């Protein structure tokens, strides 16, 4: 049996609560970069949508320019054929030329319809692009604000952690080294909780009853006792 002073007992209790608080802050600090990364990927997604809308609009404009060039070529050809009408010698050639002019005319009219359709598509694509850009802008502002909050929170938490760590070091310095080693071993084996109170003969660590004799002995403060079930250090308040 290890004898223990009230001071050492209180130091261990304080050490444990400080360590648990520090672990909580470390957990928060560990999550913050993940939150920032999630925001980044959200922004990357919005960026990709803008890029895709942009290329859709550009594709449609290119298609329109091609149609327009084709249409103009057709118009020129028709013009040329019309001039040729004056110089044909036979009726057969004349009819053939007329037929060709008519064909070119209907091809041009189909192209005109296609161009109008394409203009509608361009309008839709440009609207979609504007929407995507505005979503991106909103998202970017939101993410920048969130990132500043995350940075600020990280700064505050780090400061708190530093304070707790220096408290932990100060307590550990004052604690009996042999007890500290025992505390660390039990802590490691018991999910981070090495010392627990006993309340009405029930261990707060494992919630099992401790034998009455041990419970009575616990009221003598000068002996370190372990719970016979979970092997944590126990004490009564």
Per CB under 5 A, the segment of 78-86, 147-155, 187-195, 220-228 that binds Zn ion is 220-228
Written as six digits, the tokens of 12 are 């261990």
What minimum distance in Å lies between the beta carbon of 233 and Zn ion?
Answer: 10
Q: Which of 25, 57, 104, 227 binds Zn ion (CB under 5 A)?
A: 227
Per CB under 5 A, the segment of 58-66, 125-133, 157-165, 195-203 that binds Zn ion is 195-203
Letters for 132-171 (x = contact with Zn ion by CB under 5 A, - = none) are: ----------------------------------------
Q: Give the nearer residue to Zn ion in terms of CB position, either 179 or 186.
A: 186
Greatest C-alpha distance within the chain: 132
Q: Give the nearer residue to Zn ion in terms of CB position, either 54 or 204.
A: 204
Size of the site for Zn ion (CB under 5 A): 6
Written as six digits, the tokens of 96 are 């053939």
What minimum distance in Å lies between the beta carbon of 12 and Zn ion?
Answer: 16
67-106: contacts with Zn ion (CB under 5 A): none
195 makes contact with Zn ion (CB under 5 A): no
197-216: contacts with Zn ion (CB under 5 A): 203, 205-206
Do 50 and 128 touch, CB atoms closer than 8 A? no
How far apart are alpha carbons 76 and 86 in whole angstroms?
Answer: 17
Cα 69–chain centre separation: 48
Among residues 218, 222, 223, the alpha carbon closest in space to that of 235 is found at: 218
Q: Give the nearer residue to Zn ion in terms of CB position, either 78 or 225.
A: 225
CA dihedral 88, 92, 98, 100 (to 10 degrees): -100
Q: Give the nearer residue to Zn ion in terms of CB position, either 154 or 202.
A: 202
**Measuring CA to CA, how many Å separate 103 from each of 99, 106, 110?**
6, 5, 11
Q: Which of 110, 142, 174, 229 binds Zn ion (CB under 5 A)?
A: 229
Counted residue by residue, the chain has a size of: 237
How far apart are alpha carbons 162 and 173 in whole angstroms?
Answer: 16
Q: Give the nearer residue to Zn ion in terms of CB position, either 25 or 227.
A: 227
Residue 95 CB coordination number (10 Å): 11
Instruction: By CB under 5 A, name the binding residues for Zn ion.
Output: 203, 205-206, 227, 229-230
């Amino acid at each position: 049996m290890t004898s223990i002073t009230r001071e050492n007992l209180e130091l261990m209790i304080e050490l444990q609560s400080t360590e648990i608080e520090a672990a909580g802050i470390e957990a928060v600090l560990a999550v913050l970069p993940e939150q920032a990364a999630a925001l980044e990927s959200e922004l990357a997604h919005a960026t990709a949508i803008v890029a895709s809308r942009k290329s859709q609009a550009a594709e449609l404009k290119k298609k329109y320019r091609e149609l327009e060039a084709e249409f103009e070529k057709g118009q020129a050809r028709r013009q040329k054929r019309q001039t040729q009408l004056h110089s044909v010698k036979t009726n057969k050639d004349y009819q053939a030329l007329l037929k060709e002019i008519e064909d070119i005319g209907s091809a041009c009219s189909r192209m005109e319809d296609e161009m109008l359709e394409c203009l509608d598509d361009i309008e839709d694509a440009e609207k979609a692009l504007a929407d995507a850009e505005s979503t991106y802008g909103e998202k970017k502002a939101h993410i920048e604000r969130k990132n500043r909050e995350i940075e600020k929170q990280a700064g505050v938490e780090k400061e708190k952690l530093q304070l707790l760590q220096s408290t932990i070091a100060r307590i550990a310095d004052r604690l009996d080294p042999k007890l500290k080693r025992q505390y660390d071993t039990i802590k490691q084996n018991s999910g981070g909780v090495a010392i627990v109170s006993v309340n009405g003969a029930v261990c707060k660590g494992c919630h099992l009853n401790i034998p009455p004799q041990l419970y009575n002995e616990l009221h003598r403060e000068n002996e370190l006792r372990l719970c016979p079930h979970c092997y944590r250090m126990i004490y009564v308040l």
